[in-house]
């Protein structure tokens, strides 16, 4: 599913733009080059700088794809509409400054002895539409619905088919009680994320059930998908920065947006990954898990989501963020 239709009216204009003299972090290599945009998309990538008028000189700074964070979190009680909106606005502003251009916000979708949950959730989705139309959000926002056992008998189509939906998560221990809604999510092509996966046997069971992501699994289940097949493994950015031995396929912010960028550079410096490989864990891989094929890489045809980064004293510092070719931070 693409989020292009949710792009604010201020983005994606027909003006051509050029970024030059940038250390471009492509999916395969880092090179000094020039990137040209048209209508918010990447239309040309060349090695070397250009002296064409109007080109923005990035002075040798890194140009990374906009980061994708699957760990957005809002007020746990989705019926508190104003609190949920305040949380989205706050995270949106903080994330954009740190180079994040796509956020997946989490909501509990579970039955309570409290009226109005469905109405409040629908109201939240409507507010996201209004906010995008008004151009007030810096990041692109999706939704991760978290299921609980009380959801087993509910009809989920209205939520799962919503264009904002990117992931459906659940506690692995609740798998058997959530078979129906999880089957419905798989039928609609929505990625499943399992939490509290504690063992290798749990991991293998998730693989058999087509779970796409193991959310912060216990070390016994933390086997990277790239090496062994099966679900991708996520890790919190702060744990990566602090030296966790895990080798995750996907890194999320854990609520600390700057740590997401620092985790990518930590994997380069400490774990020996190339910078393109490290950046994939915070951009392309989470984007693909969320069903977003139009972002996460500096490549032809991709949406022009970028972050300009300069290393100062060994620390990666985000200097500017663009979404759809328009500067948002």
pLDDT at 114: 44
Q: What is the mean pLDDT of residues 135-147?
A: 90
pLDDT at 26: 98
Q: Does residue 111 have a pLDDT over 90?
A: no
Q: What is the mean pLDDT of residues 233-248?
A: 90
pLDDT category at 8 given cuts 50, 70, 90 is very low
Q: What is the mean pLDDT of residues 247-274?
A: 95
Task: Name all domains of the chain by residue range, CATH numbers in brackets.
Answer: 4-63+297-327 (2.30.40.10), 67-289 (3.20.20.140)
pLDDT tens, residue by residue, 188-200: 899 999 999 999 8
Q: Which residues of 223-233 are buried (b: 16+ CB within 10 A; e: fewer)?
A: bbbeeeebbbb
Average pLDDT score, the chain:
86
pLDDT at 236: 95
Task: Report yes or no: 249 and 234 within 8 Å, Cβ to Cβ.
Answer: yes
pLDDT tens, residue by residue, 11-23: 444 588 999 999 9
* pTM of this structure: 0.89
Tokens of 90: 């706050």
More confident call, 271 vs 80: 271
pLDDT at 244: 81
**What's the CA gap between 207 and 260, in Å, rounded?**
26
pLDDT category at 322 given cuts 50, 70, 90 is very high
Q: Which residues of 33-61 are buried (b: 16+ CB within 10 A; e: fewer)?
A: bbbbbbebbbeebeeebeeeeebeebeeb
Q: Which contacts qualify for 80-88: CB closer than 8 Å, 24 or more apart?
A: 80/120, 81/120, 81/123, 81/124, 81/127, 84/124, 85/124, 85/127, 88/128, 88/131, 88/137, 88/141
């Amino acid at each position: 599913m693409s989020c292009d239709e949710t792009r604010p009216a201020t983005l994606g204009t027909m003006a051509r733009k050029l970024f030059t003299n940038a250390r471009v972090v492509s999916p395969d290599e880092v090179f000094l080059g020039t990137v040209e945009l048209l209508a918010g998309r990447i239309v040309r990538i060349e090695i070397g700088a250009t002296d064409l008028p109007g080109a923005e000189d990035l002075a040798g700074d890194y140009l990374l794809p906009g980061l994708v964070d699957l760990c957005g979190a809002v007020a746990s009680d989705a019926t508190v509409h104003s609190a949920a909106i305040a949380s989205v606005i706050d995270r949106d502003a903080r994330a954009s400054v740190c180079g994040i251009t796509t956020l997946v916000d989490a909501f509990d979708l579970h039955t309570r002895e409290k009226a109005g949950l469905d109405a409040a959730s629908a109201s939240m989705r409507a507010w996201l539409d209004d906010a995008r139309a008004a151009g007030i959000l810096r990041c692109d926002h999706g939704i991760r619905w978290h299921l609980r056992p009380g959801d087993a008998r509910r009809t989920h189509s209205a939520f799962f088919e919503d264009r904002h939906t990117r992931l459906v998560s659940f506690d692995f221990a609740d798998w058997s009680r959530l078979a129906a809604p999880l089957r419905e999510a798989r039928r609609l092509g929505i990625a499943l994320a399992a939490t509290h996966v504690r063992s290798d046997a749990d991991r293998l069971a998730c693989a058999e059930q087509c779970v796409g992501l193991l959310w912060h699994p216990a070390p016994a289940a933390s086997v990277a998908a790239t090496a062994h097949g099966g679900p991708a493994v996520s890790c919190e950015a702060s744990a990566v920065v602090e030296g966790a031995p895990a080798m995750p396929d996907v890194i999320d912010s854990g609520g600390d947006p700057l740590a997401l960028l620092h985790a990518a550079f930590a994997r380069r410096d400490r774990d020996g990954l190339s910078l393109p490989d490290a950046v994939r864990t915070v951009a392309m891989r989470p984007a693909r898990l969320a069903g977003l094929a139009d972002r996460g890489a500096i490549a032809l045809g991709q949406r022009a989501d970028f972050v300009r980064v300069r290393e100062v004293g060994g620390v990666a510092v985000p200097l500017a963020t663009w979404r759809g070719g328009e500067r948002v931070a």
